[in-house]
Structure 1
């Protein structure tokens, strides 16, 4: 039963996400009070003005409260200084742990200072989840100018031209970096928030840049405070955010608003100035930082009338008095939706800034919310839901963190999980999606089985809402884990029991109009759960996510994946006798009379994907007749595979609409080039790339049981067709090696095709890298610059190339059965069942003639 005590307990104990903070000082300088005065924990003042902070109510309140943190009396400010120094000298990490207790994750603007502070990932050991970065765009621009002015330019290059391109490149890189979850602008400090929403001409920007350079030096640096240039930085960031959001990459832009030091123009710090910019970029998520104090009501208004605006409640805790904090919170709740309010500390330098902010915010939140409940504005359950949203859920959703926070209530254990899990949180995610798509009628729940068959259950919207709210479970017969493409269950399979599909709302996307033209529908991918709600061994998405999490938590490695979708378009069933390509006058990257006729279809595919939020990087003709390639953007592994599945479905649906058949068959006709699903994997940081690569190579014969998962797949394991050739090798930009190195920590895996379950395939590749890291495996295979099949045995031996890629599915399955380390990591029960399914599938196909078998695969993949 909900009570005020349960509300107090939740507010005091619920884990929080700090959506805007800065790095802590290293121990060596944490007591350098001249450079980093401790009074700054409650004041934005500097110099002589900061001396007066000791006479302010916020600092006196902090003095009294810090006695609890230090575990010793603090009657005077001198007691605080002494206690801080003592903790730093004796147990600095202990002080940090106490100060960050209850903080689930930190999002750090780590460009406040490059000196004297710890790196962003150093903070990971003090929070439940890894620290993420917020990239300050003005700091990026300033550092670029120092680099540019220290580098000789080539003839014809201009400073503006170089700066423009390199700044945009830096933004793109940050967009692709999984450690970066957002951007920040301090244009408020420089030229104010009246940012022009329209880009000025190049001459004005060039002049603005040169004035900036005239006012700085390479040694002193360059402060960007020219309005045309400052506005341009913001405009370009919002343009990129808008564009990449359509591809499913969501990274908001934070704006410093309101409260600041004497460097700020207080009048131009009013977020109301941002209204034209917000209107110009309606698809870019914008966060107004620091409660916009003293303009909280203006910020709250913007967050209430624009769906892309959020209000952060940070910095005023502990910078203003207790009554002011409560008033600011009340003003933010006057009209602002609680699903648009975020919490942050703006903690920086000293651990006390985090502790005070969190303590005082929880106190204010309890006081205000209990008052609302007692006056009937909120029920207790409504207040608890709003508090959990502000503390954790809203940031979790906005920044796509996909975190799970465990909160134990006093009497019953509750799981306030991430989007895509139980209860109100999942419901909120669905509600937001439906608000953006009010004509939605159906939701498809999809999964990919062990034969790489995409299976689906379709639900009218109201029925699916019951599933999202945990009012109904969707059970799937356990026999589905042992089922072939024709629904035959292998003899070893069980027809007893079931597992349950749990929708993952981070994967929710519109179905393109070409996929379901009758009514507006959407697809959500699923995890598999046991009867008691635990993860089921052998769940494809769960298997992949488990490996990704292990790499991050145990080795601090983040992964990006991308796919090249190769597909062959065949003539319609009426026109073709076997596998007749839609184009025969055809060659790689060429526009012929026949490929030109395919362009409207290719563009229709691209436009459909854009309508679904999927942004292709390019598309072009490939080498084989009727073959084309679509290149997808890099994403986190689970999102990348989800996007791959959706893209293939669109390609197939558009082809069907035009009377064609799109197939992923590895070689739909023997004399054509192979059709693959080349997979790009990047690790960040790339410092252990050789060890990771060694692991993939060591386990490669087992891995291909997942990446080349049918007998037809091995028709591509040949030399001379740019399919990775026949030996386990790697080479820089070598397209006749199964692993092509592109950049540090970035490889293309060529030994993968469209018959594989891509969740398992990527999981196996990453598992190989993980096992290499666990064993600190040496890279014994040297770089190979040619097709290893053209080398003599002794030449291969000199390069450490001693292992052949399996030539059949059976050979790779035997390798997998002998690879106990890979089995144990992926799940031995799953691997055993997978091999049984693949052998039964192989036996069924082997009973057909070659022509029958080829058509059978073409019709299903």
Structure 2
């Protein structure tokens, strides 16, 4: 079942009608190392390509590159694929005066069919499967935690970056005196996001020096990621206009609070409505039906998130995809902890339960490719629904690591999560059910890229490694 791909020619003409100043088309997609890759086409050439029903071709090897633009072991240098634009994602880049249109793409073969490596297509297919099998839909809302950095000079030479604030003079939800000089930057970010059609839920100071959080509105899975990528790019452009940089890297400064990329996820019934006339005539029956429907949907939601908890070791291979990511697996940091546990409004567990059908997934960071993360989460949730799994591992009222052995046994919480990248990649390789839903081609390609990337990074000095990895998440 391939995802529905709208005709780009029709949607493109509609977009140009609303944005007549476009000069360049930025075709954008994301690698397995979470780099945003772009091909730029002048508008005249792009119009001609559409008229002739042509899509831009790239070497397929680009999907299998590790740092240094080297091919991952086992990947082929041969073959090509095409970038099929999805103009439902198009927007004019902030600060471009409407001249640059950014468009996300599908990676397809010469027949227009999605490649096995195309996580964007796979995510859309998985959401369609969830809707078809369970009459349910998913809403996703991302939180963007970002650290703003200012340049550090030695004379006229740029030598490093440091946070806008010093530690202990910037705090969670605070507005310290040292924050005041930078409030124009933060408000400029909010205005810029509104200019690219992102209506923030809220924004506030986070715990780390120079760290702020911008809460994005909820959307269906693919669109939620388009909004996330648009928001990150816009934040970067605003920071640059102020002479600063912005990073979503996990821990840009050792011993300081880490950035997360937390995901709010809710499972919602589709087409649920109440007939008012019938409810008036049969009030008792209507109330009973409503209660039964709510109970059934709660059970679906619990089975969905039970699948996520059960397969969390494999999910971490995507959600925490770098050696540095595993600094988040610690109690006392509000980052998710060391166990696949859940708790009501508990910030010290992997899944913070907010409503019966809504959880926050905390063990995700800015190094992750969000398409792959949501693919893994939906795959695990579908497995949980198909098996009718019971939700175990909670509720926890404190950090799971602080529970006694007997307390963990009582709620079915026995095994700790992988505490390093190799263990998570091994868990993914051993999880046949996740592999089946994700597709063997996607999983094998990802494992090859991530293991090759890890080998390269581990051969570097710590400072060099932090700079290289940070560049992926630093704008």
Please give the TM-score of this superposition, normalised by the length of structure 2: 0.89
Larger Rg: 1
CA contact under 8 A between 2:261 and 2:366: conserved in structure 1?
yes
Superposition deviation, residue 784 in structure 1: 1.0
Asked if 1:527 corresponds to 2:111, the answer is no
Residue in structure 2 matching 1:633, options 217, 242, 247:
217
Q: Any idea what SS the aligned residue of 1:628 has? A: strand
Range with bigger deviation, 786-795 or 723-732: 786-795
Residue in structure 1 matching 2:325, options 704, 709, 713:
713
CA contact under 8 A between 1:730 and 1:737: conserved in structure 2?
yes
Q: Any idea what SS the aligned residue of 1:734 has? A: coil
- Measured in 1, the distance between the counterparts of 2:394 and 2:241 equals 48
Asked if 1:854 corresponds to 2:466, the answer is yes
Residue in structure 2 matching 1:821, options 433, 449, 456:
433
Asked if 1:432 corresponds to 2:14, the answer is yes
- Measured in 2, the distance between the counterparts of 1:706 and 1:854 equals 19
Superposition deviation, residue 573 in structure 1: 5.0
Partner of 2:125: 546
- Measured in 2, the distance between the counterparts of 1:743 and 1:510 equals 36
Partner of 1:679: 263
Residue in structure 2 matching 1:450, options 19, 28, 32:
32
CA contact under 8 A between 1:730 and 1:782: conserved in structure 2?
yes
CA contact under 8 A between 1:729 and 1:788: conserved in structure 2?
yes
Residue in structure 1 matching 2:56, options 462, 474, 478:
474
Partner of 1:740: 352
Superposition deviation, residue 428 in structure 1: 2.2
C-alpha change, 1:607 and 1:468, in structure 2 (3 Å) is: farther
Residue in structure 2 matching 1:583, options 134, 147, 165:
165
1:134-166 CA distance string (max 9 Å, x none): xxxxxxxxxxxxxxxxxxxxxxxxxxxxxxxxx
Partner of 1:611: 195
Instruction: Indicate the structure whose relative CO is greater, using CA pairs within 8 Å and at least 6 residues apart.
Output: 2
Q: Could you list the runs of 5+ residues in structure 1 that have no partner in the other structure?
A: 1-128, 130-401, 405-417
CA contact under 8 A between 2:146 and 2:246: conserved in structure 1?
yes
1:660-683 CA distance string (max 9 Å, x none): 121111111121112100001111
- Measured in 2, the distance between the counterparts of 1:605 and 1:464 equals 31
CA contact under 8 A between 1:667 and 1:674: conserved in structure 2?
yes
Q: How many residues align?
A: 440
Partner of 1:570: 149
Asked if 1:488 corresponds to 2:70, the answer is yes
Partner of 1:624: 208
CA contact under 8 A between 2:152 and 2:162: conserved in structure 1?
no
Partner of 2:240: 656
Q: Could you list the runs of 5+ residues in structure 2 that have no partner in the other structure?
A: 270-296
- 1:499-514 equivalences under 5 Å are 499-513=81-95
Please give the TM-score of this superposition, normalised by the length of structure 1: 0.50
CA contact under 8 A between 2:262 and 2:360: conserved in structure 1?
yes
C-alpha change, 1:573 and 1:496, in structure 2 (3 Å) is: farther
Q: Any idea what SS the aligned residue of 1:526 has? A: strand
Structure with greater strand share of residues: 2
Superposition deviation, residue 580 in structure 1: 2.0
CA contact under 8 A between 1:681 and 1:747: conserved in structure 2?
yes
- Measured in 2, the distance between the counterparts of 1:466 and 1:815 equals 47
Q: Any idea what SS the aligned residue of 2:212 has? A: strand
- 1:407-426 equivalences under 5 Å are 419=6, 421=7, 426=8
Residue in structure 2 matching 1:465, options 47, 57, 61:
47
Partner of 1:806: 418
Structure with greater helix share of residues: 1
Alpha carbon RMSD of aligned pairs, Å?
A: 1.8
1:43-102 CA distance string (max 9 Å, x none): xxxxxxxxxxxxxxxxxxxxxxxxxxxxxxxxxxxxxxxxxxxxxxxxxxxxxxxxxxxx
- Measured in 1, the distance between the counterparts of 2:153 and 2:375 equals 40
